[in-house]
Structure 1
C-alpha cells in the first residue's frame, strides 16, 4: 500500500513551457476552470480489474489518454427523469452546497459516457437498464448529442428512460493547475460495465480506445508501449506519465490495488479534492506536487 503524502509528477515539454511562461509573467490570475465530469468504466477479468481508456486529441485537460468524460453543458439541466440518490444527496456526496451543480456533474458523467462509448446508464425504471443499443440508430443519436444537434434529455424522453444515477460511484475531485492554458474542475466517477452493453468509439471522433488492465499499464509505465500502440504524433514515444494527468495515474493505481469491481465500487473512500501545486528546482525544471491519499482499494467490501 502506498502511504499518504506528497508526490511529484514531472511535466511534459508543453507543460514545462506553459509553467515557465506562467512564472516569467508573474503568476497572473489563473483562468477559470470549466466544470467537467469523467467516468471510470470497469469490468472484471481473469487478469484483474480492467478499465476503458480513450485517446483525447487537442491537449485536453483530462489528458491525452483518459477515461471518458467532458464538460458540463447548459442542456444538462433539462434532464428530469432520475433514479437513485436525489440531487440533494449527490451534492452531499460530492461535498458541495450547490445542488444544481451536483446534478449537472452527474448528468454530464452519464451523457459523456454515452457519447464516447455507447454505454448508457439509463432504464425504464429503477430495476432495469436499456438493452440493444448498438447499430446505426444509436450511433446517430450519439453523434447528434455530441454535436449538440439534439439534447441528451430529448433522447431519454423519446425512449422513456430515466438516468440510473444509483450506478455511479463518486471517486475524486481534481482541478487543473493554475498555469494551464485550459483548465478543468473535474469530478471523477466510477461505474461497472452493464450486462449486455459493450463500449464502442464514436464514429466521427473515435481514434483509439480499449479495455486495459490497470496493473499491466502501470507495469509498463516507464515504457512507451501504450503511446506507440495508439500511434498518434502526440503519443508515439511517450511514457504513461507523459500521456495521462496525475489524476488518471493515481486512479489507475487504486484500480490495480483492488480485488475486483464490487470491492472497488463499494470501498468507503473520502472524496478527496486535489489541487496540484507547481514546484521547481534549481535548474528551472518544474513538477506538479500533489497531496495524495493512501492507495488502499483492496479490502473486501459488501455488495450493494
Structure 2
C-alpha cells in the first residue's frame, strides 16, 4: 500500500469559450432519429474522429445577426438561457455552425416559407456555405440579399454543459434541439466533418456500431432514447423550466483517466481534492489503494470479507499520525495500515472504543481531532470521520462540511 503522492501545484486555469450545439431530430421508420456527424481526424483536436452533433464556438460577430432572427429577440433568448444579455448569440451560433458543418439551413424566405435547399444546384449550396464560413458579417449580407430570416424560434433549449477542468480546451456549451428542415439534405463539409448518419439513439449508443462518443454526446443520446418521436422530444424541451449546468470532472478509474458525471459517487470528492482537474483524483476504490485526500488525511482502502472498507491516517505538522480504523480486530489488517503511515502512528482510534472520551481533542500539530459521540472531527477541514450510516446525520455539531465514511468516497454533510 504505497500512498499516492501529494497533489501537485495546480496549473494555471484554462480559459473557457462559449459554444452552441444543435441536436437535429427527425422521425425515421422506427421512430426518433438524431443526426450524427463524424469529425475529421486532426492532430491536437480532443474530439478528433468522434461522432458529434453540429456545433461550435460563439463568435462575437454573431450578435450582428440578431436583427435577422425570426420570432425571438435577445431579451427572450437571454431569459430562456438564464443570462443577463446576449443569449441570442448562442441561437445564432447553433444555426450558423449547423449550416457550416451539416449543410442544414434553418431559415425562412421573406414570405415566411422555409428555405428549400433541395431546389438549388450543388454549386450554389457550396457557395452559400463558403459565404457562411467567412463569418457572421458575410452571413448577414447573404440574408439581407435574399430576404432570409434565421429560424431561431425553431430551436428549443435542451441542455447546458461545461467541459471538465483540466481539459486542453474548455467550452461552456448550450445545447438546442430542432426538427430537421424539410427539403434539405445533410451534407458534411468534408473538412471539419467527413461523414453523417441518421441514427436511433439506441443504435448510436450500441457498442457494436463502433462510434467514438464523447461523454456529453453519450449522455445526451441516453436522454433522447426514451422519446418515441421527434415532436415528443421537442415538446419536452420546450416544457423544461430549469436547465442545470452539468460539469463533469476527471479522475482515474480502472481504464485510466475518464469523465465523472455529477451523479456518480466519487464526484463530490473529486471536486474537493482535485478542483483543477490535474488527474490525481480517483473514481473507483480498490483493495490496497492508499491516497491522500489532503496533506493531513490519507485514506487506505482494503478488502475485508468481500467488502472494501476505509481506514484513515490523520496527521499534522509534527508528522505524528492518528489511525482511525473501522474494525481494529484483525492484527494482519492493522499491520498493513501501520505500514502505510507516512510517519509514526501515535494514536489508534476506533468508533468501538470508549477512549478517548467525547469532547476530548487530540493535538496533531497545527490541527486538532475532536472526539464526538459518533465520529472524529478534523476541525481545520470540517471533516468528520464516521462509523455508521449517514442516512440521517445528526452529529450535534454545526461545523461539519464533509463526511469520511467507513466505505466509499467522501460525502458532503
Q: Is the 8 A contact 1:42 1:49 kept in 2?
A: yes
Tell me how far apart the structure 1 counterparts of residues 53 and 224 of structure 2 sit (CA, whole Å): 13
Corresponding residue of 2:349: none
Corresponding residue of 1:96: 83
1:274-296: CA deviation from partner (whole Å, max 9, x where unpaired): 11122335x79433221259xxx
268-277 vs 117-126, which deviates more?
Answer: 117-126
Corresponding residue of 1:70: 56
Whether 2:86 is the aligned partner of 1:114: answer no
Tell me how far apart the structure 1 counterparts of residues 116 and 58 of structure 2 sit (CA, whole Å): 26
Q: How far apart are residue 25 of structure 1 and its match?
A: 4.6
Tell me how far apart the structure 2 counterparts of residues 150 and 116 of structure 1 sit (CA, whole Å): 18
Corresponding residue of 2:257: 286
Q: Evaluate the alpha carbon distance shift between residue 67 and residue 109 of structure 1 in structure 2; reply closer, same or farther with a 3 A threshold.
A: same
Q: Which has the higher contact order (CA 8 A, sep 6+)?
A: 1
1:164-203: CA deviation from partner (whole Å, max 9, x where unpaired): 1110011111111111011111111111011212211214
Corresponding residue of 1:54: 37
Q: Is the 8 A contact 2:61 2:135 kept in 1?
A: no
Structure 2 matches for 1:1-304, cutoff 5 A? 25-57=8-40, 58=42, 59-60=45-46, 64-79=50-65, 80-97=67-84, 99-100=85-86, 102-125=87-110, 127-132=112-117, 134=120, 135-148=122-135, 151-218=138-205, 220-221=206-207, 223=208, 225-227=209-211, 243-267=212-236, 268-269=239-240, 270-280=242-252, 285-291=256-262
Task: Give the secondary-structure state (helix, strand or coil) at the position aligned to 1:41.
Answer: strand
Task: Give the secondary-structure state (helix, strand or coil) at the position aligned to 1:208.
Answer: strand
Q: Is the 8 A contact 2:160 2:173 kept in 1?
A: yes
Tell me how far apart the structure 2 counterparts of residues 31 and 119 of structure 1 sit (CA, whole Å): 33
Q: Evaluate the alpha carbon distance shift between residue 62 and residue 74 of structure 1 in structure 2; reply closer, same or farther with a 3 A threshold.
A: farther
36-45 vs 125-134, which deviates more?
Answer: 125-134
- Greater helix fraction, Structure 1 or Structure 2: 1
Tell me how far apart the structure 2 counterparts of residues 62 and 155 of structure 1 sit (CA, whole Å): 31
* Higher Rg of the two aligned structures: 2
Task: Give the secondary-structure state (helix, strand or coil) at the position aligned to 2:262.
Answer: strand
Q: TM-score, normalised by structure 1?
A: 0.75
Q: Is the 8 A contact 2:39 2:47 kept in 1?
A: no
Structure 1: runs of 5+ lacking an equivalent: 1-22, 228-242, 294-304
Structure 2: runs of 5+ lacking an equivalent: 1-5, 265-413
- Greater strand fraction, Structure 1 or Structure 2: 2
Superposed CA RMSD:
2.5
Q: Is the 8 A contact 1:56 1:66 kept in 2?
A: yes
Corresponding residue of 1:296: none
1:234-272: CA deviation from partner (whole Å, max 9, x where unpaired): xxxxxxxxx222221111112211021111001123322
Tell me how far apart the structure 2 counterparts of residues 265 and 132 of structure 1 sit (CA, whole Å): 23
Tell me how far apart the structure 1 counterparts of residues 181 and 136 of structure 2 sit (CA, whole Å): 27
Task: Give the secondary-structure state (helix, strand or coil) at the position aligned to 2:114.
Answer: coil
Tell me how far apart the structure 2 counterparts of residues 266 and 190 of structure 1 sit (CA, whole Å): 10
Q: Is the 8 A contact 1:54 1:209 kept in 2?
A: yes
Tell me how far apart the structure 1 counterparts of residues 93 and 158 of structure 2 sit (CA, whole Å): 15
Q: How far apart are residue 107 of structure 1 and its match?
A: 0.5
Q: How far apart are residue 162 of structure 1 and its match?
A: 1.0
Q: Is the 8 A contact 2:117 2:125 kept in 1?
A: no
Tell me how far apart the structure 2 counterparts of residues 126 and 168 of structure 1 sit (CA, whole Å): 20
Task: Give the secondary-structure state (helix, strand or coil) at the position aligned to 1:83.
Answer: coil
Q: Evaluate the alpha carbon distance shift between residue 192 and residue 94 of structure 1 in structure 2; reply closer, same or farther with a 3 A threshold.
A: same
Q: TM-score, normalised by structure 2?
A: 0.56
